Chains A and B, each alone.
Chain A
Amino acid sequence: MQSFRFLAVGGALALSVFGASAMADFPASFLERFNADARNAGEGSGNAARGQKFFNETHGNEWKCAACHDSIPTGKGEHAVTHKIIEPMAPAFNPQRSTDAAKVDKWFRRNCKDVLSRECTAREKADVMAWLIGLK
């Protein structure tokens, strides 16, 4: 009876942990993924200082990331054309950020094309994610 209860509690715990990880992504899991991809491509891993520089520089086009997201995205940004308010990018200031893989992948794909006319490399994404996660 005792061991049965132990098994049941353990099973429920395991289920809840797996269930949670299947339901939601979190910022560190993206950094981990981008780092792994960057290392596989032989580009090393993410670096927050490099991420901050990348975010605040232009890359051949008119816009930089900071044009809409502000230079330190712990507060609200504003769309450069429509002026619609954009909620903070740093996860510590906006718990909804970086919790959905489809969203994260979609916005990196689109916005990198606007800023660099190409998709970002895994290392570039790892750099930016490392910086954003570190903003407290």
Chain B
Amino acid sequence: MTNAAFSRYVGVVFLACTLPALVVLGYAQAPTTIKGMPASFTAECSSCHIAYAPFLTGQANWRGVMDRLDKHYGVDASLDSKTQREISTWLLANAASSAPLAAVSPDFRITRSDWFIRKHYWSASIWKRASIKSASNCGACHSGAARSDFDAGSVRVPK
């Protein structure tokens, strides 16, 4: 085997060994990194609640939320205009674009949209459990909620 052929061989073996690992790693990390997510999104939005992923609702709801931050479901969540614009732009660019997620809902709330209520049809009394407390406490049942992983297979409803 010539030197060049040998190094080609080593390269192919190396790739064959590492590619599957890279693909698996990439897949495992996919939900944690949403394209272009500004640092301000987690810093500002997830101080008080989990950082709801932009794809959970459509542009109309995001506009409704982001245009009223000074009256944000009972609290003042206002931001300086630069941060407000930065987060809005990113949310709108990555919002859900097709039904049923994109439909506008009462108070622009994800938890009051038809698809959400349908998916959680069994849960009206379960929300009140001390271990859950609120429909917005996604992480109580969806262990991957903080990285926007809502895979139904990993749901565990606490007692």
Contact = CB atoms under 8 A, between A and B. Distances in A.
Interface string A103-134: 00010011101100000000000000000000
Q: Specify the main secondary structure of chain A where it touches its partner.
A: helix
A120 B105 CA distance: 35
A113 B78 CA distance: 11
17 contacts: A79-B48, A81-B136, A82-B48, A82-B134, A82-B137, A83-B133, A84-B46, A84-B47, A84-B50, A106-B79, A106-B80, A109-B76, A109-B78, A110-B75, A110-B77, A110-B78, A114-B75
Contacts of B77: 110
Q: Size range of the interface on B?
A: 10 to 19
A83 B75 contact: no
A38 B77 CA distance: 26
A81 B49 CA distance: 9
Contacts of B134: 81-83
B76 A114 contact: yes
Nearest to B75: A114
B158 to A, nearest CB: 13
A113 B75 CA distance: 8
Interface of B: 46-50, 73-80, 133-134, 136-137
Contacts, number: 33
A110 B79 CA distance: 9
A113 B71 CA distance: 10
B145 to A, nearest CB: 11
B49 A84 contact: yes
Contact of A82 (B78, B79, B136): B136
Contacts of A82: 48-49, 134, 136-137
4 tightest CB-CB pairs across the interface, nearest first?
A82-B49, A113-B76, A110-B76, A83-B133
A128 B158 CA distance: 38
Contacts of B76: 109-111, 113-114
A84 B48 contact: yes
B95 to A, nearest CB: 22
Contacts of B137: 82-83
Interface in A67-89: 79, 81-84
A77 to B, nearest CB: 11
